[in-house]
A and B are shown apart, each in its own frame.
Chain A
């Protein structure tokens, strides 16, 4: 039972254009969402997060949008750079304010390739 889904295994984008990575979830009780980036042979690194009480959070070139009614979140990267090429995981937390704050449920990941 995959509660967090990234339906696009891969995405290819030209340098300078926008990258949009999508994520859907099924559990309406998730109250915190995150994006992680992973390079080959490295561990995932935290990128950006959003609480369920917000619908947008921005950090430089990265913006995460949350649509709770649709149970959908997306990560926008503008402009995309070749160094952004990596696997991107979305993740969700149930009861983030409680003891399970680090218990992340991950999606399967999307491989982003940014071409020069």
Chain B
């Protein structure tokens, strides 16, 4: 079975550039989450969707960050403009509503902003 698929796996960009991270959740899952992992803050939730609708975006650090889920099989996290402090590993996860907290994570997208 295909797991959560994220792309790109690695991204190196320069400050000020736009970055788009992509995620394909597991088919049939109705929740999708974007998490970010940094040395300073660990793993933190940015935003999550239920049935393609954003439910809670209180973790999105600022207006430079935006996320969309146009359909059940695709989501994007966009950073515009990017800054060096955005450097982190961004994880997408999905789940089916019955399993409390049992999320299936992708392999992550490592972002480096120079």
Contacts and interface: CB of A to CB of B under 8 A. Distances in A.
The size bracket of the interface on B is 20 to 34
B33 A106 contact: no
A89 B103 CA distance: 13
A114 interface: no
A96 B97 CA distance: 11
Given A41-B107, A43-B107, A101 B44 contact: no
A69 B31 CA distance: 32
Nearest to A49: B101
Given A46-B102, A91-B101, A102 B33 contact: yes
Interface residues of A, number: 25
The secondary structure that dominates the B interface is: strand
B24 to A, nearest CB: 13
A45 B101 contact: no
Contact of A106 (B4, B44, B48, B107): B44
Contact of A44 (B48, B56, B91): B91
B82 interface: no
B100 A93 contact: yes
B46 to A, nearest CB: 11
B47 to A, nearest CB: 10
Interface in A1-32: 32
Interface string B32-68: 0100000000111100101000011000000000000
B43 to A, nearest CB: 4
Given A44-B91, A99-B55, A34 B105 contact: no
B108 interface: yes
Given A43-B107, A43-B108, A99-B55, 5 more contacts: A42-B107, A44-B91, A44-B105, A93-B100, A93-B101
Query: Nearest 7 A-B pairs (CB), nearest first?
Result: A43-B105, A106-B43, A108-B42, A46-B102, A34-B101, A96-B100, A44-B105
Interface of B: 4, 31, 33, 42-45, 48, 50, 55-56, 91, 93, 95, 97, 100-108
